[in-house]
Amino acid sequence: MVKQPIITVKNLVKKYGNFVAVDQVDFEVFEGEIFGLLGPNGAGKTTTLEILETLRDKTSGEVFVDGFSVDKDAGSIKKRIGVQLQAAGYYPNLTLTELIELFSGLYGVNVSPMEMLAKVSLTDKAKAKYKELSGGQKQRFSIATTLINNPRIVFLDEPTTGLDPQARRNLWDLIRSIRSEGTTVVITTHYMDEAEILCDRVAFVDAGKIIGIDSPDHFIDQLVASGFEREKQVKSANLEDVFINLTGKELREI
């Protein structure tokens, strides 16, 4: 099957004054994949995401999202994408039901808050205020809000940062289920285990440039073929496995 690009980025540049945050970046995201942007702090991942989301102006280059140019058709792009807001974007004293009603009103769509909350296992928090949620629940709720307009692509910027191992695994399942319904997912993360498990392809960004783009498997196979060996023989389990084994796989915070 030929993979169709749903996002095309050509020669993208973003300067803040004299500082070049994104430096002549080219890449494509294919329809239906989970695509990861990886790289050190300050590499330019969030800046790139925000340009694709039409939330930040670029300096030069071309960006097409689902066939629409960010220059000419930002409005059409906004209708087709789901963007995870930072926590500050939610009114802390509204209930989850009220927040979903508010967002669906803004998008001009009619959704059932309970159906949206069911997608992220938060129906029993329907009457809770946003500020009363745990970190993992807040993340799940913010992912639910990205789905309100039934988007073609969702953008998730470090969705599992700060979560416990169960909550992280639960979010991986959620992200996979979003993809299994045909939605393309673009994600940034600093967790390489997460990228390896979740992403079909990843791009490594460093100092504003893409320095490698491939599937996690290919990257690892190439490194091994080059003669790389880990210094220490890795045990067949790690401390996270111990954590999960001792505390169980169930979410704690429902």
Q: How many beta carbons lie within 10 A of that of residue 176, not counting itself? A: 13
Helix 135-146, helix 165-180: angle, nearest 10 = 10
Q: Which residues contact 82 (CB under 8 A, 6 or more apart)?
A: 145, 146, 147, 148, 149, 151, 153, 154, 155, 183
Pick between residue 19 and residue 228 the one whose CB is nearest to ligand ATP.
19
From the list 23-31, 37-45, 226-234, 243-251, the region that binds ligand ATP by CB under 6 A is: 37-45
Contact 65, 153 (CB under 8 A): yes
User: DSSP readout, 24-39?
Assistant: EEEEEEETT-EEEEE-
> Of 209, 201, 210, 189, which Cα lies nearest the Cα of 3?
201
The answer to whether 175 contacts ligand ATP (rule: CB under 6 A) is no
The answer to whether 82 contacts ligand ATP (rule: CB under 6 A) is no
The answer to whether 21 contacts ligand ATP (rule: CB under 6 A) is yes
Distance CA 33, CA 58 (A): 25
Pick between residue 32 and residue 39 the one whose CB is nearest to ligand ATP.
39
Task: Give the distance from CA 80 to its chain's centroid.
Answer: 15
Q: Which residues contact 233 (CB under 8 A, 6 or more apart)?
A: none
From the list 36-44, 99-107, 221-229, 232-240, the region that binds ligand ATP by CB under 6 A is: 36-44
Question: What residue type is assigned to position 168 of the chain?
Answer: R
The answer to whether 41 contacts ligand ATP (rule: CB under 6 A) is yes
The answer to whether 152 contacts ligand ATP (rule: CB under 6 A) is no
Pick between residue 12 and residue 120 the one whose CB is nearest to ligand ATP.
12
The answer to whether 39 contacts ligand ATP (rule: CB under 6 A) is yes
Near ligand ATP by CB under 6 A: residue from 28, 29, 34, 44: 44
Pick between residue 47 and residue 170 the one whose CB is nearest to ligand ATP.
47
Near ligand ATP by CB under 6 A: residue from 15, 23, 24, 46: 46
From the list 38-46, 86-94, 143-151, 222-230, the region that binds ligand ATP by CB under 6 A is: 38-46
Contact positions vs ligand ATP (CB under 6 A): 16, 21, 39, 41-47
